Chain A
Amino acid sequence: AQKVTQAQTEISVVEKEDVTLDCVYETRDTTYYLFWYKQPPSGELVFLIRRNSFDEQNEISGRYSWNFQKSTSSFNFTITASQVVDSAVYFCALSEISNFGNEKLTFGTGTRLTIIP
């Protein structure tokens, strides 16, 4: 069965500090996708990134960067120079093909990030 572990339940950092959110996954699939979503207090899950299992290049988007390491089954997310608006719950997710042939996401339990002004 697929599993996503986000061991950090809550993290607090002072504004402008860098912070890394960890994500470790388990899968027997050779082809899979990994995702990060942000859930602000409004409740809506906001898509941040999707990464194919064959593409291990790190990605940077503004202050956000992602480190995908297949060898350690990790897909970590770093926010550089954090801002108060980054305060949210962040979810890592793994796609799988179910027994019904459809694709479904397995989410981690989330990491609540608080940026202190």
Chain B
Amino acid sequence: EAGVAQSPRYKIIEKRQSVAFWCNPISGHATLYWYQQILGQGPKLLIQFQNNGVVDDSQLPKDRFSAERLKGVDSTLKIQPAKLEDSAVYLCASSPQRGPTADTQYFGPGTRLTVL
């Protein structure tokens, strides 16, 4: 079974530029998550989708971040414009279904973003 795919793996941009990350979850997984992991910290949830609907985007900086999951499969996370503090690894994860049974989340390799 293929895992969670993410691209690109690395991205370097100047501040105020735009950037987009792509994620393809494990086939059949209804729930998709985007996390931000700043160096030295644990991942922090940015947004959670259930199929193509947003379940929780309470920690997404909506003035600059946006995400969509068209057709309930793959997803795109965009930052526009980027700030220095957005430098982090962006992890995508998927799980078969929504809680409350604490589905195991399976993570992709992440995209390491550096904002100069």
A interface, CB within 8 angstroms of B = 4, 31-33, 35, 37, 42-47, 50, 52, 91, 93, 95, 97-105, 107-110
- Return A113 CB to nearest CB of chain B, in Å: 15
For the complex of A and B, the 10 pairs showing the least CB-CB separation, nearest first, are A103-B99, A107-B42, A33-B102, A45-B107, A102-B55, A44-B109, A43-B110, A95-B102, A100-B56, A102-B56
Q: Identify whether the interface residues of B are mostly helix, strand, loop, or mixed.
A: loop
Of residues 32 through 74 on chain B, the ones whose CB sits less than 8 Å from some CB of chain A are 40-45, 48, 50, 55-56, 58
Given contacts A50-B102, A98-B58, contact A110 B42 (CB under 8 A): yes
Q: Is the CB–CB distance between B100 and A107 below 8 Å?
A: no
Given contacts A100-B55, A102-B50, A102-B55, contact A109 B41 (CB under 8 A): yes
Q: Is the CB–CB distance between A43 and B109 below 8 Å?
A: yes
Can you list 15 A-B contacts (CB < 8 A)? A4-B42, A35-B104, A44-B3, A44-B107, A45-B43, A45-B91, A97-B100, A100-B56, A102-B48, A102-B99, A103-B99, A103-B103, A104-B48, A107-B43, A109-B40
Is the CB of B112 closer than 8 A to any CB of chain A?
yes
